[in-house]
Amino acid sequence: MDTLMQFGTGVFGTAWPAVWTLIKIVLIVAPLMLGVAYLTYAERKVIGYMQVRIGPNRVGPLGLLQPIADGVKLLLKEIVVPSGANRFLFVIAPMLSLAPALAAWAVVPFTDTLVLADIDASLLYILAIGSMGVYGVVLAGWASNSKYAFLGAMRAAAQIVSYEIAMGFALVVVLMVSGSLNLVDIVQSQQKGTFADMGLNFLSWNWLPLLPLFVVYFISGVAETNRAPFDVAEGESEIVAGFHVDYSGMAFAVFFLAEYAEMILIATLTSLLFLGGWSSPVAFLPDGIVWLLAKICFMLLFFLWFRATFPRYRYDHIMRLGWKVFIPLTVVWLFVVGIWMMSPLNIWK
Amino acid sequence: MDFKTTVFFFLSAILIFAGLRVITARNPVHAVLHLILAFFTSAGLWLLLQAEFLAMVLVMVYIGAVMVLFLFVVMMLDINLDQLRQGFWKYLPLGAVIGILIAIEMGMVLGSRYFQVLDSEVPGVAANASNTRELGALLSTDYVYPFELAAVVLLVAIVAAVALTFRGPKKTRYTDPAAQIRVKAADRVRVVKMPVEKQD
Amino acid sequence: MFNDFVAPSLYPAAPEIFLLFMACVILLVDLGVKSPRRTLTFVLTQLTLLGCAAITLLTSNTEVVYTFSGMFVDDMMADLLKLLVYGAVMLALFYSREYIQDRQAIPKGEYFVLALLATLGMLVMISANHFLTLYLGLEMMSLSLYAMVALNRESAISTEAAMKYFILGALASGLLLYGMSMIYGATGSLEITEVGERLYTYSVDKSVLVFGIVFLVAGLAFKLGVVPFHMWVPDVYHGAPTSVTLFIAAAPKLAAFAIVMRLLVSGLITQAADWQGMLIVLSVLSMGIGNLVAIAQTNIKRMLAYSAISHMGFMLLGIVTGVVGGDARFALNAYSSAMFYVVTYVLTTLAGFGLIMMLTRAGFESDELDDFKGLNKRSPWFAAMMMFVMLSMAGIPFFVGFFAKFSVLQAVVAAGYYWLAVAAVLFSLVGAFYYLRVVKLMYFDEPKIQEPIEGPLFIKVLVSANGLAVAALGLFPQFLMSLCAYALMRSLT
């Protein structure tokens, strides 16, 4: 590592810290994009097996080159801009959708030292950045100048704003029990407790004492990403394809990337906040990034599983679930945990 | 000019530009988008001042929630711009006078060297002090009263909004499957005995 | 880090806390109240106000007490004004009961809750010793009032009035905030008494301060409704349901007086020379335009709105004359005359609108001047009450309005502003014309409507008592006057 640093300083001089940061960004984004590509593959495979099909198997061995082929196809396709569309916003909307999904990764820790920016309020940063994702969808819907797209945008906006509240409350409880807004601290705070002392770390993670919030957070995450069964923003049987009905080629691909990057982000956050991040489930195995990756894959599986299992919610049911079930539930649990922490039974000291 | 100053001027320039576009943009949606940009850049400025909590909350609350709803409403508006511009020349003199007054005032404030004189006792930020913790402690000690008042103001807003818009639950008709199953033949058809009536 | 923090004493703020608690309880209880009359909600609301009054009386003492890190002040002035606010709100709600009952569109439960929350806002304003709390109290009151104006949801004119009120009110809040931030910039403190002390001890940049004061005064003028910031007053008085007009016309004036005293007198007394000049202009313009335009009105609510503008202008005279050239000898006298003026004005207004509402029925507003024609033939008693109100507003001896005007004029003369006194008297004479016109309509014209005046006996008695109080206080003004003077003496140190 030191030799790398010395070498870098020698080549780039004072600009080296900036270049090094850039390299780190590339090191995060490139695997992420690869992950996105193979998540689409995994999705098709998993859903295929669930429906007793085989899934893609033609391009490459086991169909492993399928995502590459899809990417190349989308790259080569023409981007059609509808005649009545607002050109500037139409083009910028996909980027606005992808940028927050990528920017959030800046503060995501992979191990206790492996993090791009270890800032004090990283959880807050993720919430703030995450709340901006909705603009891509809304602007895409509006700029397309199409009623289906607009309807999709409206649905998406209302849905995302509603579920963000429940999500935020769930996070408030997490930060309450760990006493920090820093993701590294949050992960580390999950590694102690009665069960951890017995060597059963996985029972000390937040998911068990905060089980309802874990569930609420993850389901809200599914709703935030507009994934099935909350995908009314696309709702291909009602409003064709919702907000991106008029997008084609690479512009469409960017929306696609954003959606899957967001999925991976939600899975990662769930792993970090509730499943102990990179810590190993039992004391005799070493901690490491492998565990984090395994947990992310586990959570991602749920996304795919949901899609294969549940029919799409009706729009008013989505709203009811968000406002009348999740928000009251999280608020009540906030009080419960608050009282719990003040009582002698506090397990988070 | 060090790095921080450069960033400051860069963000300020964007902020001023966005602010101007908010009031000059012809399309209200563009105006809202520039307002969002303005919020975002001012969050950046706050970050420069090491007020990271406020910056994040600004982004989260204003950009993430308030402006989304704002955009939502503005997108659905059908504004006739020509109609809006009708009174422009009539009101220009008054508006110009007020604008110039405010500009003069700004000049005087900026021109006066006061801001360095009296209260230079800005609390120094400890190296590892957490903004969030400090603010939280302040809000629940010294500023607990205005904090609670702000909560009551929000309550008033909720009560007012509900009072003005809620018109009672909708009377929807729906079928109750349980009742359909429980139904007996006797509930549906009633056989009535009556004497034969003569036709005349 | 904050281990040395001492929990604030909640004792001085007990009325506010009780009111907030009860408002929430009533909000919940009202969910279960099914009767369209909402008797339970109404009774609870009135009991809450009574309870507040009791708490205020019990916790009242002659000391000036600060709590919540100096953001809340409890002094005699606050106690007296709060008691008057409770009284004004209670009377207003009693008078409103039948009125809102007759109007289907008004949601009854929320009406009372909003009234309570507006009252809470007023209390916060009255006890504010910090720019933040003052502003928050103001917003709390204003938001509730905007909503109350629009509560009659089927009336387009009410909605329009609410919209105007809301937009201009928001603008005024903006001005006020801007002024506050300027003063904060100049003095480095948001606490009003602290601002006063710093201005006294340090030399502060004048230009920033004066501009801050300009905006502050403009914002206050908006809220008081004095010329040239009076545009909303006639529209809101006219457009709002009469019960809400009554509400807005009464108690908020007391709160507005309180914030004027807090901001200008407690905070910026060292800059009196600056704001007095502005207030003189506002005051003369208000008395002039208010009285002259009122003559042209045919709608009694609009007429009373312009009359309110002129009265507020008159009241400002008392605040203007407190300090003359650094000489504060007459301060107590002047401020207590202004306070007495506001209190009597509120009392008279309550009676006036109470009477107007007695005349309304379902579907009939009775807010045109013509509706008062021949009131004497329909009900000599209430015509007499209305006459008392009008004569008092006109400042005819020996009604309470006369003494109010007299004491303010005394302060003006004592301060040496002879021309101001002359102008005030002249404009009052102009004003007398339209007040007496109402009397003439009642006594010398033939009635258009013959129906007798209906209403629950209790309300009739209450209105009568209110009208008689206007007359009786005119005969014995001394008690209230000395009460105001005593309260202010204990509060201003």
Q: Which residues of B touch A157 (CB under 8 A)?
A: 68, 71-72
Q: Is C68 on the interface with B (CB under 8 A)?
A: yes
Q: Do chains C and A touch (3 or more CB pairs under 8 A)?
A: no
Contact C2 B137 (CB under 8 A): yes
User: Nearest by CB to B153, which of C13, C143, C208?
Assistant: C143
- Chain C: closest CA distance from residue B161 (Å): 8
Average pLDDT over residues C101-113: 84
**Probe site for chain C from B105, B113, B133 (most C CB atoms < 10 A):** B105
Say if residue C252 is preceded by a cis peptide, omega within 30 of 0: no
pLDDT reading at C418 higher than 70:
yes
| Distance (Å, whole) CA A184 – CA A181 | 9
Name which residue leads in pLDDT, C131 or C227.
C131
- For the stretch B16-68, pLDDT in tens is 999 998 888 777 888 888 898 899 899 888 888 877 788 888 888 888 888 88
Q: What is the pLDDT along chain A (349 residues), one digit of tens a residue?
A: 777 777 777 777 777 778 888 888 888 888 888 888 888 888 888 888 888 888 888 887 888 888 888 888 888 887 777 787 778 888 888 888 888 888 888 888 888 777 777 777 788 888 888 888 888 888 888 888 788 888 888 888 788 888 888 888 888 888 888 888 888 888 888 887 777 777 777 787 888 888 888 899 999 888 888 887 887 776 666 766 677 777 877 888 888 888 888 889 999 999 988 888 888 877 777 777 888 888 889 989 988 898 888 888 888 888 888 888 899 999 999 999 889 888 887 777 7
pLDDT reading at C85 higher than 90:
yes
- Cβ–Cβ under 8 Å, residues A93 and A245: no
Asked if residue B39 is part of any domain, the answer here is yes
Domain that holds residue B11: 1-79
**Probe site for chain C from B152, B154, B158, B167 (most C CB atoms < 10 A):** B152
Q: Which residues, 6 or more positions from C21, have their beta carbon under 8 angstroms from its beta carbon?
A: none
Nearest residue in C to B166, CA atom: C107
pLDDT classification of B118: cutoffs 50, 70, 90: very low
Asked if residue B1 is part of any domain, the answer here is yes
SS3 state of residue A145: coil
pLDDT, chain B, mean: 79
Asked if residue B64 is part of any domain, the answer here is yes
pLDDT of residue B127: 52
DSSP string, C171-229: HHHHHHHHHHHHHHHHHS--BHHHHHHHHHHS---HHHHHHHHHHHHHHHHHHHT-TTS
Asked if residue B70 is part of any domain, the answer here is yes
pLDDT, chain C, mean: 87
Could you tell me the CATH number of the domain that includes residue B70? 1.20.120.1200
Domain tally, chain B: 1
Nearest residue in B to A122, CA atom: B56
Could you tell me how far CA A295 lies from the centroid of its own chain?
A: 13
pLDDT of residue C254: 92
Packing angle, helices C156-187 and C232-239, rounded to 10: 140
Q: Which residues of A touch B130 (CB under 8 A)?
A: 120-121, 181
Contact B72 A128 (CB under 8 A): no
The pTM for the full model equals 0.85
Asked if residue B49 is part of any domain, the answer here is yes
pLDDT classification of B89: cutoffs 50, 70, 90: confident
Backbone phi, psi, residue C65, to 5°: -115, 135
Residue whose pair of structure tokens reads 């928000």 in the numeric block: A327
Q: Which residue intervals of chain B are DSSP H helices?
A: 3-24, 28-48, 52-57, 67-76, 81-85, 88-111, 131-140, 144-165, 177-182, 185-188
Contact B131 A135 (CB under 8 A): no
Asked if residue B59 is part of any domain, the answer here is yes
**Alpha-carbon separation of residue C366 from A330, C17, C296, C358 (angstroms):** 52, 39, 18, 9
Neighbours of chain B (3+ CB pairs under 8 A): A, C
Asked if residue B4 is part of any domain, the answer here is yes
Secondary structure element (H or E) that encloses residue C73, with its range: strand C72-74
pLDDT reading at B1 higher than 70:
no
Asked if residue B198 is part of any domain, the answer here is no
Nearest residue in C to B121, CA atom: C188
Closest to A336 measured CA to CA, from A129, A172, A128, A180: A172
Neighbours of chain A (3+ CB pairs under 8 A): B
pLDDT of residue B116: 42
Contact B71 A138 (CB under 8 A): yes
Contact A119 B52 (CB under 8 A): yes
Q: Is B150 on the interface with C (CB under 8 A)?
A: yes
